[in-house]
Structure 1
Amino acid sequence: MSFSPPPPPIFAGENYNIWAVKMRTYLQAHDLWNVVQNDTEPPPLRANPTIAQIWQYNENCAKKYKAMSCLQSGVSDVIFTRIMACDSPKQAWEKLKEEFQGSEKTRQQQLINLRRDFENLRMKESETVKQYTDRIMATVNNIRLLGDDFSDQRVVEKVITTLPESMNQRSLL
């Protein structure tokens, strides 16, 4: 049996950070992520190359176009028009990132706001522990999507230290 990969995730203008994680994994699965990251051309063939070297060189040259095809196929037509003039997959990736995730300064401000939201989270009297942890995880996942390494230990500490005193450990089980 052979593995038939799924089509690339489609980005239509919403939830860029989630799409970017999925698309990066998709490109990695097809051995194309390095082409997007590095934007380098393969070195030229040396004199008198073997058939295997020619084949490998052609394969490496085609990766740029395969990665670009994946990116173009992974966006809606409206988004495609924003990257159709890009010459490389890296250029297309960076253009989407800048437009939909914002500049580095914008991302840093978003992280500051999300970290503040995290610190200010408290369990409401009308909430179950599950609902409260779901709210915490929504904030944590948004922090992680922006590239911040947020430990599970910190999440557990948050839950334990912010539960109302009326809660005891038995109610967590």
Structure 2
Amino acid sequence: MEGETNFSQISPLIFDGESYDLSAARMEAYLEALDLWEAVEEDYDVSALLDNPTIAQIKIHKEKKIKKAKLKSYCLFARVSQNVFTRIMTLKSAKIIWNYLKEEYAGDERVRNMQVLNLMREFKIQRMKETETIKQYFDKLFDIANKVRLLGTQFLDSRIVEKILVTIPKRYEASIAALENTKDLSKITLAEVLHALQALEQGRLMREDGSMVGVYLA
């Protein structure tokens, strides 16, 4: 019980009608961790107990009732804004609520395709700024890629790798050349590229700091 209480402290943010795909992904993961997602998918009815039920049957019956009540009242009703709540408060089951939210806020296929196209355009024009770190640039590209994935479109890590290798400043050319000599760039992972470029970046910063120390001591 204590573990469940602690976990509830990191529950998803309140859904206010914006960023549905991100909110839905968070909520699904949260419900799976609480062993409640099955109740959304199956939408089972809790049948009345038979005469003279066993202790095991009573326990299972109670658990199912509690699971459905908890799912509907706390994990769905309490995780939406007042405006969204007024739209779903008369719906009878978690599955009906979940499907309604998807139909209402996810947008139709045409809208989602347009969102994907816009994100693809945004990804295409990205270039690493001189003032950015490798991690900042990586996070920006990864964020766009994940938004595309949340909309149901495949986006391979290899596309991010290729984007990084062809759009970073010239000061990273030595690191890229080293990667080409030691790795097959068609199979290299995103983590390997990030770590290699960060190592070069940190080495350059340390040399610059050392130069500045030399200037102050001179």
Q: Work out whether 1:108 is the aligned partner of 2:110.
A: no
Identity %: 42
Q: Which amino acid aligns with 1:86?
A: L
Equivalence for 1:2: 2
Equivalent residue number for residue 35 of structure 2: 31
Code of the residue aligned with 1:157 in structure 2: it is E
TM-score (normalised: structure 2): 0.65
Return 5+ residue gaps in structure 2 as ranges: 177-196, 201-218
* Counterpart check, 1:162 vs 2:167: yes
What is the CA-CA distance between 1:50 and the residue it aligns to?
A: 1.9
For the residues of structure 2 that align with 1:107 and 1:76, how far apart are their CA atoms?
23
Structure 1, residues 38-97: CA drift from partner, whole Å, max 9, x if none?
223256767764220222023223322221111001011111101111111111112222
Distance 1:22 1:50 in 2: 38
The one of 66, 69, 82 aligned to 1:77: 82
Q: Which runs of 5+ in 1 are unaligned?
A: none
Deviates further, 68-77 or 146-155: 146-155
More helix as a share of residues: 2
- Report SS of the residue matched to 1:168: helix
Does the 8 Å CA contact 1:122/1:163 hold for their aligned counterparts? Answer: no
**Alignment counterpart, residue 66 of structure 2, candidates 51, 62, 65:** 62
Alignment size in residue pairs: 172
TM-score (norm 1): 0.79
Q: Alignment partner for residue 136 of structure 1, among 135, 138, 141?
A: 141
d(CA) in 2 for partners of 1:149, 1:45: 46
Partner amino acid, structure 2, of 1:142: K
Greater alpha carbon shift after TM alignment, 23-32 vs 45-54 = 45-54
Q: Relative contact order (C-alpha < 8 Å, sep 6+): which is higher? A: 1
Of 147, 152, 170, which aligns to 1:147?
Answer: 152
Task: Report the alpha carbon displacement of residue 167 of structure 1 after superposing the two structures with TM.
Answer: 4.7
The residue number in structure 1 matching 2:122 is 117
Contact 1:41 1:61 in 2 (8 A): no
The one-letter amino acid paired with 1:95 is Y
Alignment of 1:9-48 (within 5 A): 9=12, 10-42=14-46
